Amino acid sequence: MRKSESSCPGKGEERKRVGIMGGTFDPIHTGHLILAETAYEAFHLDYVLIMPNGNPPHKPGQVHASMEQRTHMAELAVADNEHFRVSDFEKTPQDYHYTYETLEFLTQKHPDIDYYFILGADSLVHFHTWKEPKRICQCCRILAATRDRMETAVLTEHMERLEREFGAQIAPLETPNIDISSNMLRERVRKGQSIRYYVPDAVEAYIREQGLYHKNLTEKH
């Protein structure tokens, strides 16, 4: 699946517009869903692809729920939204794919689609450290969520730097600053606190049924 730097096809007419939001989704929560919905509406996307990571290289040993459990939680979360889809693409023996590999595969398989890669402002700051950032930029347009309390001038500086260095096409995505993190939700579960309204009801029920997050990761191994 590794291809040359020119592996992503050019743009043409009658193309679909598909958003991609990757993450561990451990668990998926309301903040993720609002970000995806905002991107769908603001950029007139055909749909948004929710793509749980396997065991991503930048989070070694830090994923709590299994790939199957995290994928199922994502499916439960978006079941009532016809323009969200869940992909288990990264459920493979190697257990993860670098982002550039995933995007190159998708653009080769679906040459009629333009992909819009949804990122939080915090991730954009570290984007230059990702594997093959130029190849990522050749395969998609980046939507940078203007949240995480980052100053507009600082975000603009990072966007311009990536445009210069990697030829990135980046558009700001205005979103509300919803201060929810998966880490915070896992901690609330561990302490026996409610996560109602932080996650969809079906996800909350699944976490309870599966007994997820009741122990620290170090206690599980």
Q: Compute, in degrees rounded to 10, the torsion defined by CA atoms 75, 78, 79, 85.
A: -70
* Residue 46 belongs to domain with CATH number: 3.40.50.620
Q: Give dist(CA 211, CA 48) in Å, integer.
A: 29
Question: How many structural domains are present in the chain?
Answer: 1
211 falls within a domain: no
Range of the domain at 60: 16-179
Contacts with 74 (C-beta within 8 Å, 6 or more apart), sequence order = 25, 28, 50, 52, 86
Least confident segment among 37-51, 54-68, 145-159: 54-68
Q: Which amino acid is at 84?
A: F
> Would you say residue 159 has pLDDT above 70?
yes
User: Residue 3 has what pLDDT?
Assistant: 38
7 falls within a domain: no
11 falls within a domain: no
pLDDT bracket for residue 60 (50, 70, 90): low
pLDDT bracket for residue 177 (50, 70, 90): confident
User: Residue 118 has what pLDDT?
Assistant: 97
194 falls within a domain: no
Cis peptide, bond prior to residue 9, ω within 30 of zero: no
Contact indicator for 39, 116 with CB cutoff of 8 Å = yes
Q: Give dist(CA 90, CA 74) in Å, integer.
A: 14
Q: Give dist(CA 21, CA 145) in Å, integer.
A: 12
Q: What is the mean pLDDT of residues 80-104?
A: 81
Mean of all residue pLDDT scores within the chain = 86
Q: What is the pTM of this model?
A: 0.86
Beta-carbon count within 10 A of 113 CB: 17
pLDDT bracket for residue 59 (50, 70, 90): low
Q: Give the model confidence (pLDDT) of 116-149 as tens digits.
A: 999 988 888 889 999 999 999 999 999 998 865 6
**In the numeric block, which tokens belong to residue 198?**
């932080």
99 falls within a domain: yes
pLDDT bracket for residue 57 (50, 70, 90): low
